[in-house]
Structure 1
Amino acid sequence: METLRTVHEWKQKVLPALESKASEFRLMGYDKTTREDVWSCLNEKVWKGDPSKRLFEIVQDIFQLSSNVYMSYLTINAHQDDNLMASIAALTDNSAGEAD
């Protein structure tokens, strides 16, 4: 029987599957997709934490990751980045005003 391990513990074993999925997404037009992007998406959208799974379950999750889920992940991250940049800009503008 295959052992259960946390998702994080399986990462090195599934790098080829992650790269394959990243390559698939690049072919679909997501040109900057990396295996780290796929891993992060799975952690945030599919696994939500660090659950214990068997190797075949991790590989199955990777290959079943849909472009819709990945696009949702990218969109949310883009909005978070925009909000962060807006917050930084507001703080920078506010700090500049206080210095006068």
Structure 2
Amino acid sequence: MDEKQQFEVWKEDMEPVLTSKVEEFHMLGYDKATKDEIWRCVTERLRKKKTYVPFYSFTDELLNLKASVYMTWLTVNSYKEPEDWFREFEESEK
């Protein structure tokens, strides 16, 4: 079963779940959580799996995403970002 994942096809169907998850994170104090970031977090985690992920498993992953996992993902991705932030900081000091 070597099917290619097509998560983007499911994004519109997942809109209510994403909205719910954003509201949950906002209630927990993570006010800057967005639908796009949560979507990226879940899809990047699932793309690493070697097997095909069916729709119901994807929904389950999204519904069970913990704030700690999301925050860890944000932290790791902030380190992966290019170092443009430092360049912008240096330019603003000039």
Same-fold call, TM cutoff 0.5? yes
2:46 aligned partner:
47
Are 1:7 and 1:53, in contact at CA under 8 Å, matched by a contact in 2? no
CA shift for structure 1 position 58: 1.5
**Which structure has the greater CA radius of gyration?**
1
Count the aligned residue pairs.
Answer: 88
| CA–CA separation in structure 1 for the residues paired with 2:17 and 2:88 | 39
CA shift for structure 1 position 31: 0.4
2:37 aligned partner:
37
Closer, same or farther in 2 for the Cα pair 1:70/1:90, shift >3 Å?
Answer: closer
1:58 aligned partner:
58
CA shift for structure 1 position 64: 1.2
1:83 and 2:87 correspond: no
Task: Give the TM-score of the pair, scaled to structure 1.
Answer: 0.68
Task: Give the TM-score of the pair, scaled to structure 2.
Answer: 0.72
Closer, same or farther in 2 for the Cα pair 1:84/1:21, shift >3 Å?
Answer: same
The percent of aligned pairs where both chains have the same amino acid is 26
**Ranges in structure 1 where 5+ consecutive residues have no aligned partner:** none
CA shift for structure 1 position 83: 3.2
| CA–CA separation in structure 2 for the residues paired with 1:52 and 1:36 | 22
| CA–CA separation in structure 2 for the residues paired with 1:78 and 1:7 | 23
The root-mean-square deviation of aligned C-alpha atoms, in Å, is: 3.0
CA shift for structure 1 position 80: 4.3
CA shift for structure 1 position 48: 2.8
**Ranges in structure 2 where 5+ consecutive residues have no aligned partner:** none
